[in-house]
Structure 1
Amino acid sequence: MKIKKRVIALIATVGILIGWASLGGSAAIMHATSSTEFCVSCHSMQIPYEEYEGSVHFSNAKGIRAECSDCHIPNDPIGYVVTKIRASKDIYHEFVTGKIDTEDKYEEHRMAMAETVWAQMRENDSATCRSCHSNEAMDLYSQTEEAAKMHKYGVENNQTCIDCHKGVAHFAPEPEMDSAAFDELFALADATPTSTSVVYPIDMIDLGEFGQVNPTTAMNVISESNGQRTVEISGYQMKGAERVLYMGNGQRAIIANLNDAGQAAVVAGTFKTDEYGNEWRTASITSTITSPVLASLDPLWDYAAQLDNVYCSTCHAKIAAGHFTVNAWGPVAKGMGDRTDISELDLEILTKYFQHHAKDVAGH
């Protein structure tokens, strides 16, 4: 029995209509659940929404606004669907577990949530960022010198947007490092043999009655008696700034600060003018110390690497110590440190780590 053409046409039409309605309905649902209004309708999204409202992606001089989906949902079909499926867990936690339904709970999980998003954006090379921004379209001359330098560095080192712009629309997790690692340094310092010939402070320590020595400074031990070491420190002085001992000739990495008595006790060479017109001379001072000291810089550098991971890499990709010179690292580290709650001592140790491995020191 032959089926009439009209019946076939009717079946085909109904099938098309059902398919169209299914696909269209699915697309409409997908689109509706991608709107900012839908995203922030959940109670747990109020905190990130308030942070977003204070960001340049919400309000800016050019009047361009990036919605939630612009940053969190890739445009390619597969990435789009995968992201929507992943987002179903947010609904589950909103209505079933209440995992982040209070501010305290949100802060407790902020780091884990941020790392999840960062990992996804690294996987797709920050695809959502690149839907609006591109390296080729950047006018580096309109950027600050530092921004232009870092964008160039990022391109040369195959970094992706999220490596550095982690706090661009939401507050980055507050970096925090417990005291266990530093306590371990003290334990190692307490165990340093009295026969050690070169020692290194882990803190700002008194140089007898002559001033203070900065952490990581190499001190040659002349003698030791009853927990008191007589040490010699060698460095450089710049004319007009004789209160300071620097790490190298022309290198403004401070290793010691001297008082009047300390300046008088310095054994100094002859001033010589450098290529910038500054006058430098060798300088050494001998005094006593009683503070715990390390027999090697390795534990301090390991500690500095942890500081780098916690306070630097939380916000941006790691910057190799050899990227800047000794003199450049000082202000760079201070400027970045001011944006965190890193302690003065930890910032000093981290700065010295960068300076000791700077591009004009490495290999020497």
Structure 2
Amino acid sequence: MLWWWSRTGRVLVLSGVGVAGVVAGVVGWGGFNTVLEATNSTAFCISCHEMRSTVYEEYRRSVHYANASGVRAACADCHVPRDWTHKLLRKVQATNELYHWLVGTIDTPEKFEAKRHELARHEWDRMRATDSRECRNCHSFEAMDFHKQNAKAATTMAAAAKAGKTCIDCHKGIAHNFPDVTAGHRRAFADQRERAKGFVPTPGSTVYPLTSLALLERPEGAGPIGEVSVSTPLRVLTVEGGFARVELTGWHRDGSPETLYRLPGKRIPLAKLTDAGAAGPEALRVVTDPDSGQPWTEARITAWTRTGAFSADRAVLWEHAARIADANCTLCHTLHSADAYTANQWIGTINAMKRLTPLDDEEVRLLQIYLQTGAKDAAASR
């Protein structure tokens, strides 16, 4: 009898422990998920002033906050996955954001604006990596009625669907202010320009202009005979005061000696000459471009130009151009490598795209030459 009671007691105790464990697990799991979901609320997101006084106010002015259909997308709808696995991973990643909140990385408007582009890039990259998963919770190509869109939107969306583009490739800055994507590379280039002021080239060296420079017949008191393009290799012959006599070699098409290009048949600009300047180059040899059948003449010209805007290493310019491409070209699509097109194809591509960027003429010129120089039919001679 005692044996039966002792056995029954053990069963009851073990059953009680099991039930208590299940209850504790359910309560614990429920509590964990309750807390997890609480961190998805907009109220939680704007509980720190860094969010409340910046991106939240921008979001309140967007179509995702107020629109004709009355459907509102909250913070978590765009920034947190819905499925549990990816949601948990995203929450783990977000602990890094808590760390930066604790140390005050962006606790002033000035700090936030300085990092706005970097922060936006992180989110754009995340969305692109997931094929804009959170956008597709509400939007999909399959659900779109292109006949109800305006002609431009319908054409663009249909082309994007066919090309396999993802939402974030084209839709950036729709809920928050757009970052100044030029700030980083312009700041770096300004530092490089400042350092170049103290650089004095030596005769026999090769230098590269940091910007377009006037070519002169003599050091002082003469008008320009042309303009040399950014990044053009110049061999220094002599240096006098703030001027350098330089030599450059390029190619011009038959009958058009006023424009020198880097390679025959490939319109990578080196220099643009005036009528007087075009009479000066020394012809070296003539070749026929196999693609067009046109004769091209290799020519050499010497001229003077001001110092103070040279780099001894063209890699500095290529690094700057790569930053321009990465910051600006990715506003609308993934970054194309330079060898995606031929040197001449890049001209039309850049001309079509430059109006969509905040780049100035010199930045566009450097970007084009950088991409052309690395093009699939020119990269071997880079």
- TM-score w.r.t. the length of structure 2 is 0.64
Would the alpha carbon gap of residues 15 and 148 (structure 1) be closer, same or farther in structure 2, given more than 3 Å must change? closer
Query: Residues 70-125 of structure 1, C-alpha deviation per residue, up to 9 Å, x if partnerless?
Result: 3322234233234345556767987x777645433432443564466467668867
- Residue 288 of structure 1 corresponds to 303
Query: Partners of 2:81 and 2:99 in 1: how far apart?
Result: 22
Would the alpha carbon gap of residues 330 and 133 (structure 1) be closer, same or farther in structure 2, given more than 3 Å must change? farther
Would the alpha carbon gap of residues 356 and 116 (structure 1) be closer, same or farther in structure 2, given more than 3 Å must change? closer
- Residue 318 of structure 2 corresponds to 301
Pick from 314, 325, 328: which aligns with 2:345? 328
- Residue 77 of structure 1 corresponds to 84
Which shows bigger deviation, 293-302 or 70-79? Answer: 293-302
Query: Partners of 2:26 and 2:117 in 1: how far apart?
Result: 42
Give the conservation status (yes or no) of the 8 Å contact 2:229–2:271: yes
Give the conservation status (yes or no) of the 8 Å contact 1:167–1:315: no
User: In structure 2, what residue type is equivalent to 1:355?
Assistant: Q
Give the conservation status (yes or no) of the 8 Å contact 2:169–2:331: no
Shift of 1:358: 0.9
Pick from 209, 215, 224: which aligns with 1:201? 209
Would the alpha carbon gap of residues 65 and 272 (structure 1) be closer, same or farther in structure 2, given more than 3 Å must change? farther
- Note if 1:212 corresponds to 2:227: yes
Shift of 1:234: 2.7
Query: Partners of 2:311 and 2:94 in 1: how far apart?
Result: 50
- Note if 1:355 corresponds to 2:372: yes
Pick from 247, 250, 253: which aligns with 1:234? 250
Query: Partners of 1:39 and 1:100 in 2: how far apart?
Result: 15
Shift of 1:250: 4.4
Q: Secondary structure at the match of 1:319?
A: coil
Query: Residues 174-228 of structure 1, C-alpha deviation per residue, up to 9 Å, x if partnerless?
Result: 432333334445555x23x3134x654333222224221112224567x547464
Would the alpha carbon gap of residues 339 and 103 (structure 1) be closer, same or farther in structure 2, given more than 3 Å must change? farther
- TM-score w.r.t. the length of structure 1 is 0.66
- Residue 181 of structure 1 corresponds to 192
Q: Secondary structure at the match of 1:290?
A: strand
Give the conservation status (yes or no) of the 8 Å contact 1:173–1:314: no
Shift of 1:34: 1.9
Which shows bigger deviation, 75-84 or 12-21? Answer: 12-21
User: In structure 1, what residue type is equivalent to 2:87?
Assistant: Y
Pick from 237, 245, 267: which aligns with 1:252? 267
User: In structure 2, what residue type is equivalent to 1:106?
Assistant: F
User: In structure 2, what residue type is equivalent to 1:205?
Assistant: L
Query: Partners of 2:301 and 2:282 in 1: how far apart?
Result: 9
| Structure 1 residue ranges without an equivalent (≥5) | 155-159
Query: Partners of 2:62 and 2:348 in 1: how far apart?
Result: 26
Shift of 1:166: 6.5
Query: Residues 343-363 of structure 1, C-alpha deviation per residue, up to 9 Å, x if partnerless?
Result: 543442232111111122122
Give the conservation status (yes or no) of the 8 Å contact 2:124–2:168: yes
Query: Partners of 1:62 and 1:234 in 2: how far apart?
Result: 61
- Note if 1:103 corresponds to 2:118: no
Q: Secondary structure at the match of 2:269?
A: strand
Give the conservation status (yes or no) of the 8 Å contact 2:246–2:305: no
Q: Secondary structure at the match of 1:216?
A: coil
Query: Partners of 1:280 and 1:52 in 2: how far apart?
Result: 59
| Structure 2 residue ranges without an equivalent (≥5) | 147-153, 217-223
Query: Partners of 1:37 and 1:333 in 2: how far apart?
Result: 44
Would the alpha carbon gap of residues 363 and 287 (structure 1) be closer, same or farther in structure 2, given more than 3 Å must change? closer
Give the conservation status (yes or no) of the 8 Å contact 1:194–1:224: yes
- Residue 150 of structure 2 corresponds to none
Query: Partners of 1:302 and 1:245 in 2: how far apart?
Result: 24
User: In structure 1, what residue type is equivalent to 2:40?
Assistant: S
Query: Partners of 2:158 and 2:272 in 1: how far apart?
Result: 32
User: In structure 1, what residue type is equivalent to 2:50?
Assistant: S
Which shows bigger deviation, 169-178 or 278-287? Answer: 278-287
User: In structure 2, what residue type is equivalent to 1:328?
Assistant: Q
Would the alpha carbon gap of residues 254 and 168 (structure 1) be closer, same or farther in structure 2, given more than 3 Å must change? farther
- Between the two proteins, what is the percent identity of the paired residues? 33
User: In structure 1, what residue type is equivalent to 2:214?
Assistant: D
Q: Secondary structure at the match of 1:44?
A: helix
Query: Partners of 1:279 and 1:305 in 2: how far apart?
Result: 33
Would the alpha carbon gap of residues 183 and 323 (structure 1) be closer, same or farther in structure 2, given more than 3 Å must change? farther
Q: How many aligned residue pairs are there?
A: 349
